[in-house]
Each structure stands twice: as structure tokens, then as C-alpha cells.
Amino acid sequence: MSAIDRTPLHAWLGRKLGLPASSEPGPESLAAYQLDKLRHTVSYVRQHSPFYRKHLAGLPVDVLGSLPDLARLPFTTEQDLREHHLGMLCVSQGQVARVVTLNTSGTTAAPKRLYFSDADLETTLDFFHHGMATMVQPGGRVLILLPGATPDSVGDLLARALARMQVTGVVHGPVGDPQAALEHAEGADCLVGIPVQVLAMAEQPGADKLRGAIKSVLLTTDYVPQALARRVEATWGCEVFEHYGMTETGLGAGVDCRAHQGYHLRAADLYYEVVEPASGAPLPPGEEGELVLTTLTRSAMPLVRYRTGDLGRLLPGPCPCGGFTPRLDRVPGRLSNRLNLGKGDLLPMWLLDEALFAVPGLLDYRAALRLQDGGYCLELTVQAAEDVHPTLAAEVEEALAEVSALTHGDIAPGPIEISHQAWSDDGTGKRSFLSTAG
């Protein structure tokens, strides 16, 4: 792959590290920068955050002699965000530009709250600006199928970031009506949206009329099944990119390049570790575990060793594109997003995603396990296109037969319900299909 295809985040990282234009960012310069930022962050939260002052009590002032020493610090958890968010603030509430409240569906647990200053939002704008340069050029037009009505929401930030590169960002919002969204896509060079919602657009009658007009699609907010991405590519002849991020990262964390070999991380703002989920022991690059996040430049509410609950692994070595930016492999999902098959066996939902989204006409699904005759029965509710052929249920069964985790043990096939109900946005920005198996 030629240097012209190198991710624009490579040069961006060099500038963030304060390197001259003639210098290349490398492992040594990045490690020195990150260690300096980590030391500053730990000192900063000890001084300004009541929570971290207590949380880190007993540790020496010079606890960080090297990057591996970060493992000596205790984790921050989701529960901490629920119970101690105000104590984690390092600025006055008058300096907070945006507060994000995250409720957990189906529970009565207190919500998580995260606080961002104007400076924090600026770092996200900067990342969006340079990360999107791979997908769209000045003069282009991007249809943003993400929440954007609220100031500083993800869609609003993305539109403002695109304006910095002379690209028009049109905020449509999450897809409630795929056919209407498809009509709004006319004239767009790029789409940015939620995987199942973009797939619904690509499966609408007449979607192929935009083939060649839509040059790129960025899928975000949820796991991106490769089978789903291939269907979108087949409809529009476009290149599909993936973004990884969560509210805790400041919405943006990493995006892939034209090599499509992992997400290039915003390593000047975020530091990632991978730990063994049960013991919390650090794992080396290449091994999968739980992703742990420490923010490096955040002022309002820094996070130190925050357990994200996401599975992932850091990729060793440089990207085939020639960019040095550290990369995160495709994040398959959350630790909790696995079906318990009993006897210590777990079925990752991404295995079902890859198998089922390869079935033509399938738009989304819901899976549930129930006990039956001493074993488990897998029930599926499948959302399908209106004109789907009558063999869909049989094709779904064939796809499930290819999932190795389902072909042994005490799992019996259950009913497969096919639904053609109208698309409904549930407000979460993720799984939009609200139905259950009968």
C-alpha cells in the first residue's frame, strides 16, 4: 500500500506530540508523551477530584516511573460513575459545557453521568475532523444518521468537524423511516450511521440507484458484523469504514483506514490497556481481554483506569497503511453481551451477528435462550424486508448450523418468528427492532 493511503491520523498524531513536520512519530516519542500525560493526569485528579484523592490515597507521588507502572493504580468502574460522578469532577459545574446521562435499559440502577468542558469537546472535534479525512474530501456532503439535535451531541460535533474541512454535514438523526432516509441520501458522498439502520436503507427498493454516488459509509455506535458491511458495499459499491467509541472516550476513540486492519486510536488523548477480565492482570498486545481506558487530556472529568466492559485487543506493529498510530482490533462487543449456555460456556453475540447478517433479506434479529427439558432452546425473532422470499426461515436455520457453539451441547433450535413490522427507533441509537418471540 502506498504512502498516499496512509491514515491522516499519522501526521495528526505527530503534531499532537509536538514533533516537527520532518519527524515521524514512533514508539519512543509516543511512549514519552503518554507517560508525561499520565503523570500529569494522576497529579491533576489528586489535586482537583475528591473521589480520586481518596481512590489513589496511599500511592506514592511518583508512582508512575514507567508506563507499566500504571497497573499499580486501582481501577475506576461503571459503579463509580453512577455513585461518585460529582466527586470525580475536576472543575466547577459552571465550567461544564456538556453533561451526558446514560441509563441502563431494564434496570433501576442509578444512571452514569459524564461531564465535558469546552476543551474536552474540542479534542473530539479535532479527532473527528482528521479521522473523516480518509472518507470524504473538501466539497463533499455527508448525511449524518446519528443524534444531532442537541448542541454538542455526536451528530452536531461531527457536522461542525466536517465544516472545518469544507465538507457539508447534514444531520438527519437516527433512521426511523429507511425509505425517507434513503431519499435524503441523494446527493451525499458519504453516510455515517448505525449498522442495522444503514442496512435497512440499503435493502429498500431503489437503493441501488445510489450505487456509485455514495463513495463511503462509516458505521458506528455498535458492533459492525462483516457480513452486514459486505451487504452495504454490494448495494452501493462503496467502501465501508468502522468507528469505535463510547461516551466515556468523549464519543470518539478510533477509526479504521483504507487498509481496514484495526481502528487507529486517538493515542494523544486516550491510553488503552487490555487486562484479563477476572484477575485484572495486564495482557500484552495481541491478546484479547477487557479494554481499560485512561484519558490523557481531559479537564472536566478525567478517567483513570476505567474498566469499559468491552472486549478487545491491541494490535502489535504498524498498520499496513504505513501509519504508526496504535491500533485496536475490531471490538467484538461487551463482556456482558454473551449468552450463558451453562457449564461455563458462553456464546458471544458477534458469532450470531456474523452468521445471521449474511442471510439475504434479514435486517435485524433478537435472540433469547430459555430452559427446555434440561437444556436450552434458542428462540429468534427476525426482522425482514417486506419482499423477503419465503425460504428465509430455512436460510436462518442453515446459518445457525454453521455456528460451532450451537452445534454441540444441549442447545435445541427453537421457533423462528419472521416480522415485517415497521421500523421503530427505540431512542437508544442501537438495536431499533422492538419485538419478542412468541
CATH number at residue 291: 3.40.50.12780
Domain match, 191 and 56 both: yes
DSSP assigned state of 282: B
Per-residue DSSP letters for 365-389? EEEEEEEETTEEEEEEEEEE-TT--
When mean pLDDT is compared across 15-19, 31-35, 299-303, 403-407, the lowest value belongs to 403-407
What pLDDT sits at residue 25? 85
- Given a cut of 80, whether residue 24 has pLDDT beyond it is yes
Q: What is the rounded CA–CA span in Å between residue 295 and residue 278?
A: 23
- Supply the range of the domain harboring residue 357: 338-419
Q: 290 lies in a domain?
A: yes
Q: 357 lies in a domain?
A: yes
Q: Is 78 exposed, middle or buried (0-12, 13-18, 19+ CB in 10 A)?
A: middle
Domain match, 330 and 395 both: no
Residue 432: band (very low, low, confident or very high) from pLDDT cuts 50, 70, 90: very low
Long-range pairs, 41-46, Cβ under 8 A, ≥24: 41/294, 41/295, 41/296, 41/298, 41/302, 41/304, 42/73, 42/304, 44/90, 44/302, 45/88, 45/90, 45/302, 45/304
What pLDDT sits at residue 369? 75
Higher confidence at residue 187 or residue 387? 187
Q: 436 lies in a domain?
A: no
Our count of domains for the chain comes to: 2
- End-of-domain residue from the set 274, 309, 335: 335
Q: What percent of the chain has pLDDT over 90?
A: 70
Alpha helices, H only, 117-185? 118-131, 154-163, 178-184
Domain match, 170 and 45 both: yes
pLDDT in tens, 90-130: 999 999 999 999 886 555 678 999 999 999 999 999 999 99
pLDDT in tens, 199-244: 999 999 999 999 999 999 999 988 899 999 999 999 999 999 999 9
What pLDDT sits at residue 178? 93
CATH number at residue 385: 3.30.300.30
Domain match, 343 and 239 both: no
Cell 432516509 sits on residue:
181
Residue 436: band (very low, low, confident or very high) from pLDDT cuts 50, 70, 90: very low
Q: 427 lies in a domain?
A: no
Domain match, 346 and 330 both: no
